[in-house]
Amino acid sequence: MARDPNSGRPPARAPRGDAPRPKPRPSKPNGDRPSGSSGKPYRANADARPNRSDDDRREAKRGPARPHHKSASSDKRASDDRNPRGPKRHGDRGPARRPDTRRDRNQDRKPARSDNRNQDRDQPKPDSPPKPSGLLARHLALLTTEAVIRDRLSLDRALPQLLTDTHFAALDARDKAFARLLAMTVLRRHADLERVVGQFLEKPLAADAIRIRLILLAGAAELTILTVAPHAAISNAVELTRLSPKTAHFDRLANAILRRVSERGAQLLADMSDPASNIPPWMIAGWQQAYGEESAARIAEASLSEAALDLTLKDPATAEKWAGELEAIILPTGTLRRAAGGRIENLPGYDAGAWWVQDAGAALPAQILAPTSGERVLDLCAAPGGKTAQLVSRGADVTAVDMSLDRMQRLSTNLERLSLDAHTASSDATTWRGGEPFDRILIDAPCSATGTIRRHPDILHLKREGDTRHLIDVQNRLLRNAATQLRPGGTLVYCTCTLEPAECEERIEAFLANPGARHVTYARKPITPDEVGGQTGWITPAGDLRTFPYDLPREEPGLSGLDGFYAARLIRTS
């Protein structure tokens, strides 16, 4: 049999008709692969489908077909096209096939797969080439939302951890702020954005396709809520899909869907938006039961708005001065308020320690406790220290207790910047004992924090209905531990930043009925409107404080609302 003079092999049989295509290898299960029996990548529906046939898609994925028999010069050109080190045709997106010869196969052998096959995140490697800042900021936002939704980390924990990466740490303050804003917007309007994107999908994405879903939601958020230029939002979203092999095959889908969102998404969001749908059903049901359907709807709507920047002054007498320098307004409660945005450290008065960041609602419990100079005050669950700073600035001798070492470090750092001093203890506040009785005690109890969704939208994804049972137990133990550490005639203020009555009024009623110690009794001392800026609507019939996220409405955009807070003031009667 005659052999090929170039390879020494028998000549290949000439194909009859079209050359048969090799069967594609079965794909491995992929968390971001679309559901369905076909296993094909998702396509947009008729309104959003890219102009690409199934054959084109398979051809691009497989790469150029291998010739059966060509001349030596043709074989060399084909080998060059297939060799990653050789010339590559413009537009060839398919993976290169293996070279013909054994020597070339050894040279081009792929490196061994990493043993860490279960790692889902594509965290940037220290030696990877830097990405454009716009893409890097969006990658940071993507990983942050993924850490919240998939890994159940709080936003305030996930973002600092990611910023330890050298590439993310190199972002300027503006890009970091944008990444945080984008992540918070996706977390806050998750259900609304899902409905908008869903209008352009032929069928839903698989339940475990978290990464591509979040890329689409972030792109939709940029286009419909943050009003980012369409070309920037869409191109960066497409590039995000290409950063991970789990989502690379969705690049054309992302492009097609987001182009339709840029054209029709804003109007769809306005027509389809339902604030209550972004709130967990158990949470909205609890609000309806406690406050009525109308108030629950107002709470839901206000909770989805971005919170303003509130500042508490170390010296309230300087309010007019700092309001002018900070371009802020003075709220009835004495808090300074300005629109959110910008770097906190660059604002006038920061380096001088003239103020600290604290929501107007969070500032009320310390005002209600109202210690005088020289009084011994116990601040339980004190970190990160806003209320501690209020108490110290009034001249009180404060002992701050919190079991979190990291948060207590933040408290100490904040007090140092403000040139304020307090005794601190990193300990469990439910068991800590301070020796001599205190004149006043403030308990800022751990809670479900449903009154702070404006500032912490990750609560919508992290809290579960059953969490309340554990929190109630902690709250009861805090009250009983404090009960015997207050001198007779002393004042105790119990506060939470939740809207759930079981963690608020019900805890006070239970404590008044049974303080947990013999011969110890407490009674309510009603709070008056004059103590909270004249806001009569914030005082409950029992004389407690209750604020809602929709309170303090203003015409200026971005300056309305405050955290939903509860506080009760008690006096030890024996």
Q: What is the DSSP letter of 574?
A: -
CB atoms within 10 A of CB 325: 12
The CA angle 564-570-574, to the nearest 5 degrees, is 160
At which residue do the structure tokens 């009835």 appear?
Answer: 332
Q: Find the catalytic residue in 381, 447, 495, 497.
A: 497
Q: How far apart are the first and last CA of the chain?
A: 113
| Single-letter code of the amino acid located at 220 | A
**Catalytic annotation present for 381:** no
Rounded-to-10 torsion of CA 346, 349, 350, 353: 170
Q: CB–CB of 545/368 below 8 Å?
A: yes
d(C-alpha 119, C-alpha 69), whole Å: 43
**HEC profile of 126-137:** CCCCCCCHHHHH
Q: Please report the sign of the dihedral spanned by the C-alpha atoms of residue 509, residue 513, residue 519, residue 524.
A: positive
Q: Please report the sign of the dihedral spanned by the C-alpha atoms of residue 69, residue 72, residue 74, residue 79.
A: positive
H helix intervals, 189-248: 190-198, 210-224, 230-241
| Single-letter code of the amino acid located at 502 | A
d(C-alpha 397, C-alpha 373), whole Å: 8
Helices (H) and strands (E) in the chain, counts: 20, 12
Q: CB–CB of 453/460 below 8 Å?
A: yes
Q: What is the DSSP string of 73-119?
A: HHHHHHHHHH-TTS---TT--SPPPPPSSHHHHHHTPPPPPPS-TT-
Question: Which residues are catalytically annotated?
Answer: 497
